[in-house]
Amino acid sequence: MFAVTKKIMFFLFYLSFAGVALLFFSACSETAAPQTQENEPRAADTALENTASEGGDDADNLGDHDFGGHEFRILNWTSPNQVFLDGRMDFEEETGEIYQDEIYRRNRRLEERFNIKLEFPHFSIRVKGA
């Protein structure tokens, strides 16, 4: 009886190994699916570009809202241990730096579009032992 069970186990192992090998080698086949060129835009990308190129505030699906000048406070923090990460979410003016200027312009667009005032209270975190 033990010899029959051993043969069945060997057969099941062999069958599963053959199945895995078949899946592995069929995944490497070039005829499995047509390859797209890296430079060709995908359908989702072109749909997004078409929506954005149409312009208007509805392109981002946020709708038209007026918050009546409400002030939104968003906590802004930095850590001296993470010198590579600039956690600032607002700047007082455009500085000529691309990243900082885009954050500044984004916040002003949001304030104007939704009639809000954005405030960014700032604090610094110091982690012991780091």
- Mean pLDDT by runs of 10 across the 130 residues of the chain is 72 76 68 57 56 59 91 81 68 89 93 94 70
Residue 45 falls within a domain, yes or no?
A: no
Task: Give SS3 for 22.
Answer: helix
Domains held by the chain: number: 2
Residue 23 falls within a domain, yes or no?
A: yes
**pLDDT of amino acid 108:** 95
Determine the structural domain holding residue 129 and report its residue range.
64-130
**Whether 68 and 25 share a structural domain:** no
Distance CA 4, CA 12 (A): 12
Distance CA 41, CA 6 (A): 55
**Whether 118 and 68 share a structural domain:** yes
**pLDDT of amino acid 35:** 56
**pLDDT of amino acid 20:** 73
Spatial contact of 117 and 69, defined as CB atoms under 8 Å apart: yes
**pLDDT of amino acid 45:** 57
What's the alpha-carbon Rg for the chain, to the nearest Å? 29
pTM exceeding 0.85: no
**Whether 79 and 21 share a structural domain:** no
**pLDDT of amino acid 96:** 92
Residue 42 falls within a domain, yes or no?
A: no
**Whether 75 and 124 share a structural domain:** yes
